[in-house]
Amino acid sequence: MNAEQLAIKKLQSLYESKETFDAHFVFKQNCKMVKISAHKIVLANESLVFKAMFYGPMKEIGSVKIDDISPTAFEFFLQVVYFKTDMITMDNITDVMCIADKYDASNVMMLCAQVLDKHHMIGDHLCKIFELAMRYGLDDLQISAERKIFIKFLDVSENFDIDSTTLKYIMRSKCLTRNEKEIFDACIRWAKKSCEKKSIDPIPQNLRSELGECFELIDFDRMTLKEFIQCGSSCSFFTIDEYKSIIEKLDSKSIAVPSIKPFNKRINRDIDGQFRPYWALASKRIRNSNRASQ
């Protein structure tokens, strides 16, 4: 065991013994107060903010109250401080980096960057790595992860665990291979996950609302008419005028798909006076045209 490993081993023993804790943090969780303790000297060695907090001219007296971090996330951070990289996983790394950034813990941030680089090399969690690299200024890692995302967009979009800002950046990039049907499907998967996290019903109106500006970045005019109709009940994402406009534009440039006349109330009413959905009407015309050509 070398000197570095021995020092880490002593830190671990110090953390596990809990006998000499002199830094105490208080969190509110589920209407209860949760207390987490550590060592001032250890935290001050890792963080300039903690150094000023415990040893500066305006040092804290008594317990430190923290309102914007969960006790679970802070425990993860402390475990990284005492145990180093062994405690960093892709499940907790977002919380750890957020706390390390807040408290200016450069060593912890460096350990997190090493973990991200390791996963990036094997092509794992690319979207999450790209998001964190962009957020915390890890430029080389951001560029490398970005290239892999654009090459493997369809694969990585199956697990779009990123925020709306990162999704917007990816969709705006000129490096992204534009297959608008794939991009639409990926965005809808992202929006469904976002609704799930917020316990929102994933109806089309809510999905579009969650996507926000990202929905406007989907270039539906680049789809074929068939692809647009294959979006399922895509008409539910649009106003009648929006859907009508896209159908007419796609119909005007369509070669393989028979021409569809502009929609109006007369051809869009059923016998009982009810409106048909536009995608159903367009699909019916295509089927009838195919039968006639056989």
The answer to whether residue 263 scores a pLDDT higher than 60 is no
The pLDDT of residue 223: 87
* Residue 156 binned pLDDT confidence (cut-offs 50, 70, 90): low
Beta-strand relationship, 64-65 and 32-38: unpaired
In a domain, 199, yes or no: no
The pLDDT of residue 235: 60
In a domain, 25, yes or no: no
In a domain, 125, yes or no: no
The answer to whether residue 176 scores a pLDDT higher than 80 is no
Token pair 């809990």 is at which residue? Answer: 18
* Residue 8 binned pLDDT confidence (cut-offs 50, 70, 90): confident
In a domain, 6, yes or no: no
Nearest to 38 by CA among 26, 52, 24: 24
201-247 residue pLDDT tens: 998 889 999 999 999 898 888 888 888 877 755 567 888 888 888 88
| Buried residues in 158-186 as b, exposed as e (16+ CB within 10 A) | eebebeeebbbbbbeeeeeeeebbebbbb
Of 125-134, 219-228, 249-258, the one with minimum mean pLDDT is: 249-258
The whole-angstrom distance between residue 166's C-alpha and the CA centroid of its chain comes to 7
SS3 116: helix
pTM: 0.66
Beta-strand relationship, 64-65 and 23-29: parallel
In a domain, 268, yes or no: yes
For residue 259, the tally of other CB atoms under 10 A from its CB is 10
SS3 290: helix
Asked if residues 130 and 173 have their Cβ atoms less than 8 Å apart, the reply is: no
Q: Tell me the residue length of the chain.
A: 294
DSSP 35: E
Nearest to 38 by CA among 56, 20, 53: 20
Tokens of 284: 């019916």
Tokens of 285: 């015309």
137: left (phi over 0), alpha (psi -120 to 50) or beta: left
Asked if residues 253 and 247 have their Cβ atoms less than 8 Å apart, the reply is: no
In a domain, 281, yes or no: yes
In a domain, 18, yes or no: no
Token pair 């425990």 is at which residue? Answer: 75
- Distance separating alpha carbons of residues 187 and 245, to the nearest angstrom: 21
The answer to whether residue 260 scores a pLDDT higher than 90 is no
The pLDDT of residue 293: 53
In a domain, 121, yes or no: no
The residue range of the domain holding 247 is 224-294
More confident residue, 279 or 249: 249
Nearest to 88 by CA among 101, 71, 73: 73
SS3 201: coil
Nearest to 160 by CA among 198, 182, 191, 115: 191
**What percent of the chain clears pLDDT 70, i.e. is strictly above it?**
79
Of 55-59, 165-169, 289-293, the one with minimum mean pLDDT is: 289-293
Tokens of 19: 């006998």
Beta-strand runs (E) in the chain: 23-29, 32-38, 64-65
Please state the domain count of the chain.
1
